[in-house]
Structure 1
Amino acid sequence: MKYLPHSLLLFLSLNMLSLNTYAISETGDVDLLKTNIINMVESEFTRLSVPGVSVAVVLDSGDEITAFKGTANTETKEELNEDHQFRLASVSKHLTAIMLMLLQEQGDIALDDKIINHVDLPDFPNRDIITIRQLMNHTAGVYDHVNSPNDYFSIALSEPNRVWTPEEVLNYTVQAGADFQPGAAYSYSNTGYYILGLLIEAVTEQTFAEAFNDLLVNPLSLTGIFADDYSDTNTPIEMFAANNRAYEYHKSSIGAAGNFVAKPLALAKLGQQVYAGNFISDESEAAMSTGSDLNNAYGLGSRLWSLQNIFHFGHTGTLGGYKSIYMYIPEYEVSIAVIVNGYPAVSDNWWHFLDEVMLEVVSYYKGTLETGGESTDETPTEEPVEDEDDNEEDDKDSGGSTSLLLLLISSVAVLLRRRKTLN
């Protein structure tokens, strides 16, 4: 697949306004789709050069597809299967955002509330004016303790079982000060989402893990997905696709920004029930899938993409030797989750694989897409860049002037979903 500079790709994707020409049509053969995805995993596995890869797809019909290959444990060489769990890294932010949208729908919070109305943040920069919305779309100007120069990693790696307190984590931002005034710019911040986890705990009067179970896991009858607030070298995770970095530091220092663990199928099923199952409102989905004025490619806990004119949203993750992605395609009501327990040797191969999986799924509905060859009229799911260890923003966000376009696409997608539901 031919990759172009992201800004040019976004410009070329202006013809996305023709999205409504892709009407829901007679679908293809589920068994054939499953066979094609399994074959794709087999053929691309060597090029990915990771211990293990696991893919899960949940279709609008409820059909579930899984494909996997490789090693689930880099020490024991245990063979991977569909029940192995992975760290989700920053896909956790998307799940945290869903929790916040549910709390807003229940009337417990409003997205434009000041964070200080719910969480005590002594000496925190701009604590009196930062809003929940600004934390969710990374426009609050909060210093990122994970991806900024400081002693965080040297301490965390030297004491892998150390449980961090909120005061210890937030002190990095208190000492560094704000990156900018809230609402003035976009800057990805793990610390911002750590604070949102504290907000959820304060509002629900539960631990973050308990709140996740009560808001999503129990109502949706899910298994195989949880917020990891306990694991360390002495307390490992069961059925874990472990690598040699799996427990290198305690995820209490990451919190809601990146501490979720899941089977890919559990992640895909959660997203499918939340969006296709209307577990959150159309208004909440539209808010999550619409970019801000300061970054049109990032909504409320969501990255926004287009590939061959197909709008989709979700999140990516890179943390401790794991890479993950969740994608939801509103037009077809499909969820896709892909996770690996190692960093691909060549970043382009990772993005190519994700694009091919998505196009294979879309071709099930359209029956017309070419999934091979090169094209100069594509927007890749992600702009391929070099991986940066534990840099949660290794997937760079684009700028540009397409926020209105993405808003229109998001709105059309929600309308299509609503129309299909009514039919």
Structure 2
Amino acid sequence: MTDTPRTLRSTRRLVGLTGLASLLLASTPLAAQETDPGADAVQKIALDAFDAMKLNALLLEVRIDGEPLITLAHGEAMPGVPLTTDGHFRNGAVALTYVAAVALRLAEEGRFDLDRPIAEWMPDLPAADTATPRMLLNMTAGYPDHVANEKGFLEPFYADPFRQWTPEELIDVSLSTPRRFAPGENWDYSHSGYVILGRVMEAATGEKLAALMQRYVLDPLNLSQTQGHDTPFVPEPVVHSYTAERGVWEDATHWNPSWTLAQGSVQTTGISDMARSFDTITGIDGFLQPQSRKAMIEPRLIGFGSPLEGCPNCHTLSSAFSYGLGAMLRGDWVMQTPSFAGNASAVATLPQGHSPEGRVTIAVAVTYREEAFDDWQGNVPNRATDIVQKIAGELVPDNPPGPRPKR
């Protein structure tokens, strides 16, 4: 469900959680926004990318200092059905940021210690006496990613993409892979780490993660389009996704996402919820206390980690790509780039204080036509990320996502 830079991807990874149908510009009257040069430039980038990238559907929202600049729906939700801006899709790794926000809120209340060994809650888990919630949050705990396990996960998943996976099954797949490093000694993207974290948070609080997400994130932010589903269910209106990664072009909308995240954090959403929530959580103080938000987005791991044999994603973090707590960091931008079953999205926020243009958030979700890629079973890029990058370069040319600019 989560996308990482191309050089970090496994050789075989799970890709992907026409014509103009509608163009809706939010917040202010259409006529007024049509004359906004920023909105016009964003619209042109999006529509050019739609054709050049052979997309089937494109949803987009850009927010400046918390206010929508443009909200756009272009293409089809399914054959013959126009896409609308209230379409639902899987938000994937965006929920990692929500999980981190819940953990930080619990820590603010004194209910959860991010630096206490997880053996207190999962004593039978290997390395639990030295791994901590903070290490699970920043991907340094060293639990191997079940998604990279060919025999234990990839082959069974592609044989039956509708299978309902349990957290225990996913943790077992992770533990069946030899550990490459001890907790805190390297960095490796691990879906399994967040599956474990979900269990730890439930044991620490005595509450289900879904209930914690609802109380600490979804309700306070009034995310009316965002719902938790640990099953293939997607509420109407559905943005259908298509893929050929199993060797045949097929509708993969209802492939089961239960393997992607901690149970209770597998969600569907809409483009405005994605943009507004990410903007609020990562972009400004208030939802999180200043020290908590700083902990989430501060690039403390730059220079940490190193390549390691048998660990395809182990590498040295840099300003071009590092990781906070539940969020990717690219320069001054905070990002998530989920991708699953032909559905790809990306959201990026340039927080307050990093640009004279103000705080900027860009959210994009796309689906593809069959001709979008020559090799669907290879290293399929996330085109939503490409579009976000182009828009960021247009709106903030002096500080796009990437290596931290010199000041």
- TM-score interval, normalised by the smaller of the two chains: 0.7 to 0.9
Q: TM-score, length-normalised on structure 1? A: 0.71
Is the Cα contact below 8 Å between 1:91 and 1:315 reproduced in 2? yes
Q: Deviations over 1:21-43 (max 9, x none)?
A: xxxxxxxx865133332232222
Q: Does 1:256 align with 2:257?
A: no
The residue that corresponds to 2:324 in the other structure is 299
Alpha-carbon distance in structure 2 between the residues aligned to 1:111 and 1:38: 42
Between the aligned partners of 1:140 and 1:180, the Cα distance in structure 2 is: 8
Give the equivalent residue in structure 1 for 2:333. Answer: 312
Give 1:228 deviation, angstroms.
2.2
Task: Confirm or deny: 8 A CA contact 2:346 2:385 kept in the other structure.
Answer: no
Q: Residues 183-262 of structure 1 correspond to what in structure 2 (within 5 A)? A: 183-231=184-232, 235-243=233-241, 244-248=251-255, 250-256=256-262, 259-262=266-269
Instruction: Name the CA shift for 1:147/1:137 in 2 (closer, same or farther; >3 Å).
Output: same
- Aligned equivalents of 1:41, 1:221: Cα separation in 2: 28
- Give 2:24's aligned residue: none
Answer yes or no: is 1:267 the counterpart of 2:268: no
Name the stretch that deviates more: 346-355 or 139-148. 346-355
Provide, for residues 198-230 of structure 1, a one-character-per-residue CA deviation record: whole Å limited to 9, x for no partner.
Answer: 223333433322221111111122211123213
Q: Where does 1:124-163 land on structure 2 (aligned, <5 Å)?
A: 124-163=125-164
Distance 1:341 1:86 in 2: 10
Give the direction of change, closer, same or farther, for the CA distance of 1:340–1:348 in structure 2 (3 Å limit).
closer
Q: Cα offset for 1:279?
A: 0.5
Matched, 1:339 2:365: yes
Question: Are residues 156 and 359 of structure 1, via their aligned partners in 2, closer, same or farther at CA, if it must alter by over 3 Å?
Answer: same
Matched residue, 1:326: 347
- Equivalent position to 2:390, from 356, 363, 379: 356
Could you tell me which residue of structure 2 aligns to residue 282 of structure 1? 290
- The CA distance in 2 between the partners of 1:350 and 1:42, in whole Å, is 13
Query: 2:212 aligns to what SS in structure 1?
Result: helix
Question: For residues 260 and 349 of structure 1, do their structure 2 counterparts lie closer, same or farther at Cα, with a shift above 3 Å needed?
Answer: closer
Displacement of 1:148: 2.5
CA positional deviation for 1:262: 1.2
Q: Name the amino acid aligned to 2:401.
A: T
- In the other structure, the counterpart of 2:21 is none
- TM-fit CA distance, 1:321: 1.5
- The answer to which structure has the higher helix fraction is 1
Separation in structure 2 between the aligned mates of residue 143 and residue 109 of structure 1, nearest angstrom? 24
Aligned residue identity for 1:329: L
Q: Match for residue 313 of structure 2?
A: none
Q: 2:98 maps to what in 1? A: 95
Distance 2:175 2:45 in 1: 48
User: CA offset at residue 305 of structure 1?
Assistant: 1.5
TM superposition shift of 1:273: 2.7
1:224 to 1:164, Cα distance in 2 relative to 1, 3 A: same
* Aligned mates of 1:78, 1:126 — CA distance in 2: 51
User: Structure 1, residues 233-274: CA drift from partner, whole Å, max 9, x if none?
Assistant: xx44322211122222x2222233973321111011112232
The verdict on how the C-alpha distance between 1:204 and 1:340 changes in structure 2, with shifts beyond 3 A counting, is: farther
Alignment root-mean-square deviation, CA: 2.9
Kept in 1: contact 2:335–2:349 (CA 8 A) = yes
Tell me which of 109, 113, 116 is aligned to 1:113.
116
SS at 1:51 equivalent: strand
* Cα pair distance change 1:347/1:379, threshold 3 Å: farther
Aligned to 1:398: none
TM-score, with structure 2 as normaliser: 0.74
Residue 107 of structure 2 is aligned to residue 104 of structure 1? yes
Asked whether the 8 Å contact 1:86–1:262 carries over to 2, the reply is yes
Query: Deviation digits for residues 57-84 of structure 1, max 9, x if unmatched?
Result: 22215335211211212xx442111100
Deviations 1:275-297 (A, max 9, x none): 33620022122211123133341
SS in 2 for 1:325: strand
* SS state at 2:344 partner: strand
Question: Could you give the per-residue CA deviations for residues 280-319 of structure 1, whole angstroms, max 9, x where no partner exists?
Answer: 022122211123133341111221113xxxx211221222
The amino acid that maps onto 1:174 is: L
How many residues are treated as equivalent by the alignment? 335
Kept in 2: contact 1:209–1:226 (CA 8 A): no
- Shift in alpha-carbon separation, 1:207–1:156, aligned structure 2, 3 A: farther
Query: 5+ residue gaps in structure 1?
Result: 7-28, 363-368, 370-377, 383-401, 410-423
Distance (Å, rounded) in 1 between the aligned partners of 2:385 and 2:187: 24
Q: Unpaired runs of 5+ in structure 2?
A: 1-5, 8-31, 242-250, 306-316, 374-379
- Counterparts of 1:164-175 in structure 2, within 5 Å, are 164-175=165-176
Q: CA deviation at 1:121?
A: 5.6
